[in-house]
C-alpha cells in the first residue's frame, strides 16, 4: 500500500477530520496523521474503508503512504506548531512535494516558510479555509496562495471539496507567496465588521423597539430572505430561537457579553494602518471586542453614569430603518476590506483579481452573502475599481439606504444605544464622499508648529508660512 493515497492531512482535530472525510467523499483516497492515537482511530472508524481513508500517528508511515508529489495539508493551530510539523515532515519528503497550511497563519509567517521550503525543493501553500467544521465537511471556501504551477496538483482536490456557488467552485488560485493567507485575514476582518453590525442592530431593535427574541428571530429570518441574505444573518436568526438547557429562557440572554478573539481581525486592522488604507468599520469591531472584555469596569461605569431613558420607536418603522442601515453598513464593510486587498496586492505583489476573491466568497465561507454576487459583478465591470463605492452599480444601493443609517445613528446617540459599527460606516462614507475635508486646517497646524509645509489648491509647489505674528 505504498505511495498510493492522493491526499495527506496532518492534524485530525475537528476541522482536519471533517476536511479529510470531505476529500474521501469526493472520490480521492486520503491518509491522516496526528500525534494523538485516539484521533487516528476515530478517523479510521469514521472513514469506514481503509483503502479510502487511513491514518497513522507515525510521520514515516504517513509519508510513505502518499502518492508523489505528496499533497499534504496541515490543519493545526497557527504559530509555532506549523513550524514544528513542517520540521517533522521534512526528512520524509521528496523534492516537488507540496505542503499546504490550511490554518489562519499570519501572512509574514507564510512568506518566511515559503522562502525556507523553496531551499528544500518543497512547494508551500498558505490556504485560508473558511466555513467552520460544517464547511470543512460539506464544502468550505478555500483561499490558496503559492506557486502557480504546483497548484495544478492541488486544484482537482480543492475544486471537488470546496463549496459551490451555482456550480462554480469556491476556490481559486489567488496569487504567489502569502496571497491566500492575506485574503483569508481580510476575510476575517470583514467577518468581524459584519458580526459587530449584526449584533448592534440586535441591541437597537431590542432596546429601541422592545423586540422579543421571537420577533428578533422572525425579523432576521425575513431579512435573510431578502437583500441581506447571508450566513451571519441566518445564524443570528437561529441564535434568537435557541432555548437554554439550564434555565427557562433563551440561551442568548444568558451568554456573557465578553467577545474573545484569536487575532485575525486585529491583524487586518494593524496591517491596514501600515498600508495607509482606512478600514474603520473593521477597526471598531476589534475595539468593541476589547471594550466588551472590560466587563467589570463597564459595570462600574454604568452605575456611575447611567444612560438616557430610551424613547421607543414604532416597531415597523424601526425594523425597516434597521434593514436599510444594516444593508448600507454591510456594503461599506465589504468596500473597506476589498479596498485593503487591492492595495495590499500592489504592495506585496500578490496580483490579486478582486473579482475572483469576491467569487470564491459567494458560498462556503463565513462572510458569504447575496451581496457578494453584486460585488462580483461590480468588479467584473471594472477589474481595477479602487473602491466599491465608486462602482456605478452601487450608487443607488447606497443612496437609497444611507438616510436610514443617518436616522439610526442619531437615534442611537440621543438614546445612549452604542452603534459604533454603523456610525463608523456612516462617517467613513461621509468622509470618503467629501471632495473637501477640513484637513487643510491640520496641514496649517503642522506648518504652524513644525514648519512641515503644505500644498495649495490653486497652484503647484510646496509652501511654508511664518504664521506667528
Question: What is the set of active-site residues?
Answer: 184, 191
3-class SS at 71? strand
With CB under 6 A as the contact rule, the residue among 61, 218, 261, 287 that binds ligand 6PG is: 261
Confirm or reject binding of residue 134 to ligand 6PG (CB under 6 A). Answer: no
| Shortest Cβ 105–ligand 6PG spacing (Å) | 11
| Shortest Cβ 300–ligand 6PG spacing (Å) | 26
Cell (9 digits) for 384: 481595477
Instruction: Give the closest residue to 232 by CA, choosing from 165, 159, 329, 338.
Output: 329
Q: Which stretch binds ligand 6PG (CB under 6 A): 32-40, 127-135, 308-316, 413-421?
A: 127-135
The rounded distance, in Å, linking the Cα atoms of 168 and 359 is 9
| Dihedral (CA of 73, 74, 78, 82) sign | negative
The DSSP code sequence of 106-162 is: -HHHHHHHHHHHHTTT-EEEEEEEESHHHHHHH--EEEEES-HHHHHHHHHHHHHHS
Q: Which stretch binds ligand 6PG (CB under 6 A): 23-31, 254-262, 298-306, 401-409?
A: 254-262
The rounded distance, in Å, linking the Cα atoms of 159 and 136 is 13
Nearer to ligand 6PG, 289 or 397 (CB): 289
Q: Which stretch binds ligand 6PG (CB under 6 A): 1-9, 28-36, 257-265, 422-430?
A: 257-265
Interface with ligand 6PG (CB under 6 A), residue total 13
Q: Which stretch binds ligand 6PG (CB under 6 A): 63-71, 155-163, 260-268, 371-379?
A: 260-268
| Shortest Cβ 199–ligand 6PG spacing (Å) | 12
With CB under 6 A as the contact rule, the residue among 22, 29, 56, 104 that binds ligand 6PG is: 104
Confirm or reject binding of residue 132 to ligand 6PG (CB under 6 A). Answer: yes
Nearer to ligand 6PG, 336 or 401 (CB): 336
| Shortest Cβ 131–ligand 6PG spacing (Å) | 5
With CB under 6 A as the contact rule, the residue among 130, 213, 336, 423 that binds ligand 6PG is: 130
The rounded distance, in Å, linking the Cα atoms of 468 and 440 is 18
Contact 155, 173 (CB under 8 A): yes
The rounded distance, in Å, linking the Cα atoms of 7 and 16 is 12
With left for phi above 0 and alpha for psi between -120 and 50, is residue 167 left, alpha or beta?
A: left
Q: Tell me how many degrees the CA angle 242-198-408 measures, rounded to the nearest 5.
A: 125
How many other CB atoms are there within 10 angstroms of residue 13's CB atom? Answer: 14
Q: Which position has the grid cell 499546504? A: 100
| Shortest Cβ 103–ligand 6PG spacing (Å) | 8
With CB under 6 A as the contact rule, the residue among 131, 169, 180, 337 that binds ligand 6PG is: 131
Residues written for the chain: 469
| Shortest Cβ 133–ligand 6PG spacing (Å) | 9
Cell (9 digits) for 122: 518543497
| Site track for ligand 6PG across 180-199, x = CB under 6 A | --------x--x--------
Confirm or reject binding of residue 287 to ligand 6PG (CB under 6 A). Answer: no
The rounded distance, in Å, linking the Cα atoms of 469 and 463 is 18
| Shortest Cβ 172–ligand 6PG spacing (Å) | 16
Nearer to ligand 6PG, 6 or 283 (CB): 283
Contacts for 360 with CB less than 8 Å, ≥ 6 apart = 141, 142, 143, 162, 169, 170, 171, 172
Chain residues 344-383 in contact with ligand 6PG, contact rule CB under 6 A: 365-366
**What residue ranges bind ligand 6PG (CB under 6 A)?**
104, 130-132, 188, 191, 260-262, 264-265, 365-366
Amino acid at each position: 500500500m505504498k505511495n498510493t493515497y492522493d491526499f495527506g492531512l496532518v492534524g485530525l482535530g475537528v476541522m482536519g477530520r471533517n476536511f479529510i472525510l470531505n476529500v474521501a467523499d469526493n472520490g480521492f483516497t486520503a491518509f491522516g496523521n496526528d500525534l494523538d492515537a485516539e484521533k487516528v482511530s476515530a478517523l479510521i472508524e469514521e472513514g469506514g474503508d481503509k483503502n479510502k481513508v487511513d491514518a497513522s500517528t507515525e510521520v514515516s508511515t504517513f509519508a510513505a503512504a502518499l502518492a508523489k508529489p505528496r499533497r499534504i495539508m496541515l490543519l493545526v493551530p497557527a504559530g509555532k506548531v506549523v513550524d514544528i510539523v513542517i520540521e517533522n515532515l521534512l526528512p520524509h519528503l521528496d523534492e516537488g512535494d507540496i505542503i499546504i497550511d490550511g490554518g489562519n497563519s499570519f501572512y509574514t509567517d507564510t512568506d518566511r516558510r515559503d522562502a525556507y521550503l523553496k531551499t528544500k525543493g518543497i512547494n508551500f501553500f498558505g490556504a485560508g479555509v473558511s466555513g467552520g467544521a460544517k464547511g470543512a465537511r460539506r464544502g468550505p471556501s478555500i483561499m490558496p496562495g503559492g506557486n502557480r504551477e504546483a497548484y495544478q496538483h492541488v486544484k482537482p482536490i480543492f475544486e471537488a471539496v470546496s463549496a459551490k456557488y451555482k456550480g462554480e467552485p469556491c476556490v481559486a488560485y489567488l496569487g504567489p507567496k502569502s496571497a491566500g493567507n492575506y485574503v483569508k485575514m481580510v476575510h476575517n476582518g470583514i467577518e468581524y465588521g459584519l458580526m459587530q453590525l449584526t449584533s448592534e442592530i440586535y441591541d437597537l431593535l431590542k432596546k429601541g423597539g422592545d423586540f422579543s427574541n421571537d420577533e428578533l428571530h422572525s425579523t432576521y429570518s425575513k431579512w435573510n430572505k431578502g437583500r441581506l441574505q447571508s450566513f451571519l444573518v441566518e445564524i443570528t436568526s437561529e441564535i434568537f430561537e435557541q432555548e437554554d438547557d439550564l434555565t427557562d429562557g433563551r440561551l442568548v440572554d444568558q451568554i456573557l457579553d465578553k467577545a474573545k478573539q484569536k487575532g485575525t481581525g486585529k491583524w487586518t486592522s494593524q496591517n491596514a494602518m501600515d498600508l495607509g488604507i482606512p478600514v474603520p468599520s473593521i477597526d471598531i469591531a476589534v475595539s468593541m471586542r476589547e471594550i466588551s472584555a472590560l466587563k467589570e469596569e463597564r459595570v462600574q461605569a454604568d452605575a456611575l453614569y447611567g444612560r438616557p431613558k430610551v424613547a421607543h420607536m414604532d416597531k415597523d418603522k424601526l425594523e425597516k430603518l434597521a434593514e436599510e442601515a444594516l444593508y448600507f453598513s454591510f456594503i461599506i464593510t465589504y468596500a473597506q476590506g476589498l479596498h485593503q486587498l487591492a492595495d495590499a496586492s500592489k504592495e506585496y505583489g500578490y496580483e490579486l483579481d478582486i473579482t475572483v476573491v469576491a467569487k470564491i466568497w459567494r458560498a462556503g465561507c463565513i462572510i458569504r452573502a447575496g451581496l457578494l454576487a453584486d460585488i462580483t459583478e461590480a468588479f467584473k465591470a471594472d477589474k481595477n475599481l479602487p473602491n466599491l463605492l465608486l462602482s456605478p452599480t452601487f450608487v443607488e444601493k447606497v443612496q437609497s439606504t444611507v438616510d436610514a443609517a443617518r436616522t439610526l445613528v442619531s437615534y442611537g446617540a440621543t438614546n445612549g444605544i452604542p452603534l459604533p459599527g454603523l456610525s463608523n460606516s456612516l462617517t467613513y462614507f461621509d468622509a470618503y464622499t467629501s471632495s473637501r475635508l477640513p484637513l487643510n486646517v491640520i496641514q496649517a497646524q503642522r506648518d504652524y508648529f513644525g514648519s512641515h509645509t503644505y500644498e495649495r489648491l490653486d497652484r503647484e509647489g510646496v509652501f511654508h508660512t511664518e504664521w506667528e505674528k
